Amino acid sequence: NAGVTQTPKFQVLKTGQSMTLQCAQDMNHNSMYWYRQDPGMGLRLIYYSASEGTTDKGEVPNGYNVSRLNKREFSLRLESAAPSQTSVYFCASRPAGAQETQYFGPGTRLLVL
């Protein structure tokens, strides 16, 4: 099993450009999450999907959109990138039921100039 995979690993954007960060998991997990991690701050939840076909806002959703394409894939889209969105983005997944453990991907480093 590859676990949680993210593409790309690193991306540089200019202000105003758009892009989509891809995430896939092969563990048959129901829930998937997008976080951002900034220096000196904890991981902050952007959006999550509790199950295929549903998405909900997290703590910092402004400037982002998400799509739960199927059970495996959960993408994060920046429609018009801003320098404040420079960060490391992590995708995570979690199995259904009473287990609360999240499995994280390796992250995508995004630099917006």
Partner 1 sequence: SQKIEQNSEALNIQEGKTATLTCNYTNYSPAYLQWYRQDPGRGPVFLLLIRENEKEKRKERLKVTFDTTLKQSLFHITASQPADSATYLCALGYNFNKFYFGSGTKLNVKP
- What is the binding site for partner 1 (CB under 8 A)? 4, 31, 33, 35, 40-45, 48, 50, 56, 59, 90, 92, 94, 100-107
Q: How far is the CB of 104 from partner 1 (least distance, A)?
A: 3
Check: CB of residue 4 under 8 Å from CB of residue 24. yes
Q: Which residues pair with 12 in a beta bridge?
A: 111
3-state SS class at 11? strand
Q: How far is the CB of 100 from partner 1 (least distance, A)?
A: 6
Q: Which residues pair with 57 in a beta bridge?
A: 47
Q: How far is the CB of 80 from partner 1 (least distance, A)?
A: 26
- Amino acid at the residue 31: S
Q: Select from 77, 102, 104 the least CA-distant residue to 22.
A: 77
